[in-house]
Amino acid sequence: MPRVPGENRLPDVDGATTPGPPPGPRDPGDAWAIGPDGTKAWGRFGAAGLLADDGAGRVLLQHRVEWSHHGGTWGIPGGARHQGEDAVTGALRESAEEAGVPEDGIDLRHTAVLDLGFWTYTTVVGRASRPFEPVIADRESLALSWIPVDDVADLPLHPGFGASWPALRASLDTTPRVVVDAANVVGSRPDGWWRDRAGAAGRLVDGVRALAADGVASAELDLPFAHWWPRWTVVLEGDAREARLDPDAAARPVDVVRAAASGDDAIVAATEQALADSDAPVLVVTADRELRSRVEALGAGVRGPAWLRDVLPG
């Protein structure tokens, strides 16, 4: 069996390269789901896996042990979801259990879902937020390795992963950006914001932080796949610049710009920078007509304040 450079391989036991089967089910989800036509898929409540890249052109892949389904092929760490477990939690748990991926070491990008009707497989795509080396932590892997993206297609891939790899590869560097005109959003609803602009702005930032952690359905962003975690920028101007923000907020961080002068100019500058950073789509949340024209001329899309209010948690 050829060895991939840099891989972490499970040591042979008594000269064998195929470890024994895993222990019995530890959760009701560790069982076969069976479709109406008798098709079987592992994971009574569906399954999920993590496709992580390191920001340097490599993705973390698992060489599957021979006794597993499609054993001997390469795919991503993953497995059956537990009862009541969402797909993202399941993918991060499985990758931690199988590959030692730090639970707080992945910045989420998006999810892709294969839906067979009776069973789903969710691929969670993310980028390592700090360097780490995979560690074989159970007996479901022959090896774990950071594989250059250009070399992935040359490996014997798990059929499901192989079919989805071209589309997933094309999205690895895609992080949508959303720039929020806080003054316009706060001012769009008469809830007494004029008595405490800084407080209202702070509440908006808290809501956006929660949204940044939860992500946004793809349909809301006109993007493929199922769910996305954009990068958010909130621009504060005037009295709102004095908003007090919790520096230790547990939610995913949000870039907050306290405009020294014109808020509109700061939004345009943030939009220009976001567009220059990558080819990913950029949305600006505002109802200001002049500002809308300026950012659309740059190539950004626009959503109104009602769009943001509708997607904010709660």
CATH 3.90.79.10 intervals, the chain? 8-170
3-state secondary structure of 7: coil
More confident residue, 106 or 10: 106
State the pLDDT confidence band at 246, using cuts at 50, 70 and 90.
Answer: confident
Q: Given 3.60.15, 3.30.70, 1.20.1050, 3.40.50, which CATH number is that of 177-311?
A: 3.40.50
More confident residue, 138 or 223: 223
More confident residue, 190 or 308: 308
Between CA 160 and CA 37 the distance in angstroms is 19
pLDDT value at residue 121: 96
CATH T-level fold of 8-170? Nucleoside Triphosphate Pyrophosphohydrolase (3.90.79)
pLDDT value at residue 252: 65
> Has residue 238 got a pLDDT over 70?
yes
Of 120-124, 141-145, 198-202, the range with the lowest mean pLDDT is 141-145
Of 116, 98, 124, nearest to 225 (Cα)?
124
Average pLDDT over residues 21-32: 72
pLDDT value at residue 197: 95
Between CA 224 and CA 203 the distance in angstroms is 31
Tokens 């809308």 locate to 292
CATH 3.40.50 intervals, the chain? 177-311
- Residue 109 tokens, joined: 């990008």
Of 71-75, 190-194, 213-217, 250-254, the range with the lowest mean pLDDT is 250-254
pLDDT value at residue 250: 54
Between CA 68 and CA 62 the distance in angstroms is 12
Q: How many helices (H) and strands (E) does the chain have?
A: 9, 17
pLDDT value at residue 97: 93
pLDDT value at residue 32: 93
State the pLDDT confidence band at 67, using cuts at 50, 70 and 90.
Answer: confident
pLDDT value at residue 71: 74
pLDDT value at residue 11: 31
pLDDT value at residue 248: 67
- Is there a contact between 9 and 143 (Cβ–Cβ < 8 Å)? yes
> Has residue 189 got a pLDDT over 50?
yes
The bridge status of strand 282-285 relative to strand 301-303 is: parallel
Average pLDDT over residues 54-58: 96
The bridge status of strand 78-80 relative to strand 47-53 is: antiparallel
Q: How far is CA 26 from the centre of its chain?
A: 27
- Is there a contact between 181 and 259 (Cβ–Cβ < 8 Å)? no
Of 10-19, 149-158, 212-221, 234-243, the range with the lowest mean pLDDT is 10-19
- Is there a contact between 142 and 86 (Cβ–Cβ < 8 Å)? no
Of 32-36, 65-69, 117-121, 227-231, the range with the lowest mean pLDDT is 65-69
Helix (H) or strand (E) segment spanning residue 273: helix 263-277
Between CA 231 and CA 176 the distance in angstroms is 6
- Is there a contact between 63 and 51 (Cβ–Cβ < 8 Å)? no
Residue ranges of E strands in 165-299: 177-181, 216-217, 227-228, 231-236, 255-258, 282-285
Between CA 22 and CA 270 the distance in angstroms is 51
- Is there a contact between 162 and 151 (Cβ–Cβ < 8 Å)? no
Average pLDDT over residues 204-230: 94
Of 239, 243, 268, 265, nearest to 254 (Cα)?
243
Residue 284: partners with Cβ closer than 8 Å, 6 or more residues away: 178, 179, 180, 181, 267, 271, 291, 292, 295, 300, 301, 302, 303
